[in-house]
Amino acid sequence: MKYEKEINRRKTFAIISHPDAGKTTLTEKFLLFGGAIQTAGAVKSNKIKKHATSDFMEIERQRGISVATSVMTFEYQDNLINLLDTPGHKDFAEDTYRTLTAVDSVVLVIDSVNGVEDQTRRLMEVCRMRDTPVIVFINKMDRDGKNRFDLLEEIEKELKLSLHPLTWPINSGKDFKGVYNLHDKSLLLFTANTKANEEGSVAIEDLADARLDAKVGESDANILREDVELIEGVYGKLNPADYLAGKVAPVFFGSAINNFGVKELLDTFIDIAPVPRDRETSSRNVEAGEDKFSGFIFKIHANLDPKHRDRIAFLRVCSGRFERNKYFHHVRLDRDLRFSNPYSFLARSKDVIDDAYAGDVVGLFDTGNFKIGDTLTEGEDFYFTGIPSFSPEIFKELVNKDPMKTKQLEKGIRQLTDEGVAQLFTQFGGNKKIIGCVGELQFEVIQYRLLHEYSAACEFRTLPFFKACWLTSTDDKKLEDFLRFKQSNSAEDKDGNPVYLAQSEWFLNTEIQNNPDIQFHFTSEIH
């Protein structure tokens, strides 16, 4: 294997969290350790604040930031780390879900005060679909959080995840004294705003050591001894294979804003997180170390300048080596394309690169050739599987307000849905165009962008659906009959696949029960 050395030093991951748990802060600390930025505050939060619902300048500004910080690449201890950013706002959750298909592992940040929150649950569901290895960082230990044992139980139960603590906290809030590292048996004492050094660390091989009492006080020392005995009894030693299989998640406690517990997290991440993993395709398993290049598009970002329609397609390299100016095969279009200005995202600037290896993300200048899920190879015909499209949650009819601009509207909506901004369904018979999104904000973005980028005015009419299910059946006739009978609830997606639009959970369950020969799928494969 020609590129083994390069590929095996790469780690591609995402930090995920419910908004406000500390993802941006932790990202920034990682970048400081990696030397990719020099000062705190350099990473702009890509949060879209609540008031942004009607503030399009804010949305545009955020789109700018999210291109710049989409992928942050830095080196740490000889490893090349690709950190993929995910939008925090729940209305853009689908973008996050797709980004998760391009990573090999995740770090999940949980706020010790709030515990498991909505977005945490949904993000973990997506991780579970792919058995993505997870490391948990319990943040904000400097605040009065939940009881640590209760918190672990809550996470295990709510996220259906087996945990394995690798550090253990001594109190929280203003009494927070630090963490004990169960792995290398050292005590890390908490001081607010610690710099990236190890001054606060004391090696304590034996917890009976009287230095522990001297450092944290007798009472807390005794509680720690009891806790550790209990934890070691319950959890034993971490089996890295269980972590890599997505079965067990190591847990760290800390405070991102104080840069506390972050280095332990990063060092362990470097140690155990997976290198680029093998991936399933429509025809075979592709190993990252294969000599031949392959990759897929997981995100498309439109140019901010409406005069230039070109877009940036984000390619995850899955095997071999990507090269500038070399012809690669675009499987869906059955065409060979080459890229003269591919760029990487080193240190947040867009640098044109000559090559990239499995694990890397490359930005490709696109004039409309790509859709999310497209595969590039060195000639072989396959596509990567497991890039799902999730059911939208809000459905609206697209109403054209200017018949003179029908063409522009159609082109615009096609391109925006290619980008993954929304999903488009066409009702059978009626030809009604239905746009499905995860959040209200997306509709505003679509309306705004159609007008500003395509000069097409539209409005939306709310429809009473709550979920789209993709339908398959081995009995074509039954499926056809069902679609005809349920015409007002039936549509086809952009690729012509039949979809049932359900008004409520009750209707959906009734249809599932009444139609045993039809399979209702809650996600669809993009390819």
Q: Which of 3, 12, 22, 116 binds ligand G4P (CB under 6 A)?
A: 22
The amino acid at 256:
A
SS3 220: helix
Closest separation in Å from C-beta 21 to ligand G4P = 5
Closer residue to ligand G4P (CB): 436 or 439: 439
20 is in an annotated binding site: yes
Q: Which stretch binds ligand G4P (CB under 6 A): 14-22, 286-294, 332-340, 403-411?
A: 14-22
**Residue 137 or 370: which CB sits closer to ligand G4P?**
137
Position 140 contacts ligand G4P (CB under 6 A): yes
Say whether residue 114 binds ligand G4P (CB under 6 A): no
- Beta carbon of residue 256, minimum distance to ligand G4P (angstroms, whole number): 4
User: Considering only residues 255, 294, 377, 415, which one is a binding residue for ligand G4P as defined by CB under 6 A?
Assistant: 255
Cα 23 to Cα 18, 27, 38, 85, distances in angstroms: 8, 6, 18, 9
Q: Are 494 and 482 in contact (CB under 8 A)?
A: no
The encoded tokens of residue 84 equal 């993929």
Q: In angstroms, what is the minimal distance from the CB of 197 to ligand G4P?
A: 18
Considering only 13-21, 58-66, 78-86, 148-156, which stretch makes contact with ligand G4P by CB under 6 A? 13-21
Distance CA 67, CA 298 (A): 14
The set of residues, in sequence order, having a beta carbon less than 8 Å from that of 388 and lying 6+ positions away, is: 97, 101, 129, 523, 524, 525, 526
Q: Which stretch binds ligand G4P (CB under 6 A): 97-105, 255-263, 345-353, 365-373?
A: 255-263
Residue 449 touching ligand G4P (CB under 6 A): no
User: Among residue numbers 46 through 65, which ones bind ligand G4P (CB under 6 A)?
Assistant: 47
Q: Which run of H or E residues covers position 352? A: strand 351-352
Is residue 209 close enough to count as binding ligand G4P by CB under 6 A? no
Please give, one letter per residue, the 3-state secondary structure of 228-282.
HHHHHHHHCCCCHHHHHCCCEEEEEECEHHHCECHHHHHHHHHHHCCCCCCEEEC
Tell me if 17 is assigned to a ligand binding site: yes
Stretch that binds ligand G4P, among 138-146, 194-202, 226-234, 242-250 (CB under 6 A): 138-146
Structure tokens at 212: 């522990």
Q: How far is the CB of 290 from ligand G4P (least distance, A)?
A: 36
Closer residue to ligand G4P in complex, CB, 140/371 = 140
Whole-angstrom Cα distance, residue 193 to residue 62?
28
* Residue among 142 and 227 whose Cβ is closer to ligand G4P: 142
Q: Quick check: 89 binds ligand G4P (CB under 6 A)?
A: no
| Region of 403 on the Ramachandran plot (φ > 0 left; ψ -120 to 50 alpha; else beta) | alpha
How far is the C-alpha of 35 from the C-alpha of 27, rounded, in Å? 12
Residue 171 is a binding residue for ligand G4P (CB under 6 A): no
62, 139, 194, 281: which one binds ligand G4P (CB under 6 A): 139
Based on the shown chain and the rule CB under 6 A, indicate whether residue 257 belongs to the binding site for ligand G4P: yes
How many angstroms separate the CA atoms of 132 and 137, rounded?
A: 16
- Which residue, among 138, 145, 144, has the nearest Cα to 165 in the 3D structure? 138
> Of the ranges 207-215, 256-264, 274-282, 502-510, which one interacts with ligand G4P (CB under 6 A)?
256-264
Chain centroid to CA 10: 18
Site string for ligand G4P, 362-381 (x = CB under 6 A): --------------------
256 belongs to the binding site for ligand G4P (CB under 6 A): yes
Annotated binding residue 21: yes
Among 338, 180, 176, CA closest to 252: 180
Looking at the chain, how many residues does it have? 527
- Of 513, 389, 322, nearest to 93 by C-alpha is 389
* CA separation for the pair 16, 298 (Å, rounded): 17
17 lies in the binding site for ligand G4P (CB under 6 A): yes
Q: Which lies closer to ligand G4P via its Cβ, residue 70 or residue 423? A: 70
Please give the Cα distance from 293 to 323 (Å, whole number): 9
**How many residues contact ligand G4P, by CB under 6 A?**
19
Task: Verify binding: residue 90, ligand G4P, rule CB under 6 A.
Answer: no
The reply on whether position 23 binds ligand G4P by CB under 6 A is yes
Which lies closer to ligand G4P via its Cβ, residue 165 or residue 289?
165
CB nearer ligand G4P, residue 193 or residue 504: 193
Instruction: Name residues contacting ligand G4P, limited to 459-478 (CB under 6 A).
Output: none
Residue selected from 104, 142, 366, 374 as contacting ligand G4P according to rule CB under 6 A: 142
- Asked whether position 83 contacts ligand G4P by CB under 6 A, the answer is no
Which residue of 4, 40, 45, 247 would you call a contact of ligand G4P, by CB under 6 A? Answer: 45
Q: Which two tokens stand for residue 495?
A: 């690729």
Looking at residues 403 to 442 of the shown chain, list those that interact with ligand G4P (rule: CB under 6 A). none
* Distance of closest approach, residue 39 Cβ to ligand G4P, in angstroms: 14
Q: Are 499 and 470 in contact (CB under 8 A)?
A: yes
Distance separating alpha carbons of residues 164 and 81, to the nearest angstrom: 24
Q: Is 477 a known ligand-binding residue? A: no
- Closest C-alpha to 435, from 451, 416, 407: 416
- Whether the CB-CB separation of 411 and 454 falls below 8 Å is answered with yes
For ligand G4P, give the closer residue by CB, 87 or 436.
87
The pair of structure tokens assigned to 231 is 């934890």
Percent of the chain as helix, strand, coil, to the nearest 5: 30, 30, 40
C-alpha span between 359 and 316 (Å, rounded): 7
Q: Which residues are annotated as a binding site?
A: 17-24, 85-89, 139-142
| Binding residues for ligand G4P (CB under 6 A) | 17, 19-25, 45, 47, 88, 139-140, 142-143, 255-258
Residues that constitute the known binding site for GTP: 17-24, 85-89, 139-142
